[in-house]
Amino acid sequence: MQAALHVIRIAFDHGWRWLWLETDSMAVISCFSNPNYSPPWQLRSFWLHSKHLINQMHFVITCALREGNIVANILANEGLKVSGYVWWDNPPSCIVKQLHLDSWGVPNFRFH
């Protein structure tokens, strides 16, 4: 949830008023979809501020399975390794291979 709230603030601060947020967390999607959602008290101020920002934006949130966005999954795992805020102006080396595979249309499959 906190990552989604940070993304909203960052997008707004950059002047981006069209935001399509994809997540593999149905819990996050249901929070944004439920107008009566009440966050834990630790997130309440952050949540209310984010809701205020998205009311000034064209905001869409949808579900994407991990296989639907391997790049996001790789970046999420990288995020677990760092502390603090990281911004890349160019794709980090950890996702370059997958970006090429995506651009070539190579599919990703989930096997059970």
Contact partners, residue 63, CB within 8 Å, separation at least 6: 22, 23, 24, 26, 29
**Spatial distance between the Cα atoms of 90 and 94, rounded to a whole number of angstroms:** 11
Q: What is the reported pLDDT for 68?
A: 75
Q: What is the reported pLDDT for 112?
A: 63
Q: What is the reported pLDDT for 45?
A: 96
pLDDT tens for the chain, 112 residues long, are 998 999 999 999 999 999 999 888 889 999 999 999 999 999 999 999 999 999 999 999 998 877 777 888 888 888 889 888 888 899 999 999 999 988 888 887 767 6
What are the domain boundaries of the chain?
A: 2-63, 67-103
Q: What is the reported pLDDT for 23?
A: 86
